[in-house]
Amino acid sequence: MAGGKLREVNLEAGMPFVDQAIKRLTFELHQSRRQGFAAVKIIHGYGSSGVGGKIRTASRKYLKGLKEKGEIADFLPGEKFSIFEEPTRRAFGKCEALRNDRDLDRYNNGVTFILL
């Protein structure tokens, strides 16, 4: 699905509890797939307030489970979202829009990219 679209979702909006953020993530992944997006960028924060860190940890654990079950193709932590990382370069083949994301090569641990 080269050339696919990228969707951005802010899981921190409204300062949800972790379980609420994971429910929203599940919903957004289903919506994104239905709408034909190739990838989803989630903003979960990195823990400066304590809340983002919990959402970040829980989201990535959840995504790992989805990947193991084959429900998503892959996910890329923002801190490894770099042209110097092989998984990022492979991701460009599925979603060309990732090349233009403002967090490319910024090593932002407050975001994660999900390939559907």
Convert the pLDDT of each residue in 47-85 to its tens digit.
765 555 899 999 999 999 999 999 999 999 999 999 999
Residue 44 to residue 67: CA distance in whole angstroms: 19
Residue-level pLDDT at 48: 66
CA distance 88 to 53: 23
Q: Which domain holds residue 21?
A: 5-115
Torsion region of 37: left, alpha or beta (phi above 0 gives left; psi -120 to 50 gives alpha): beta
Query: Angle 111-113-116 (CA atoms, 0-180°, nearest 5)?
Result: 150
What does pTM read for this prediction? 0.93
Task: Supply the CATH number for residue 63's domain.
Answer: 3.30.1370.110
Total domain count, the chain: 1
Which residues have a Cβ under 8 Å from the Cβ of 46 and sit 6 or more positions away? 52, 53, 56, 108, 109, 110
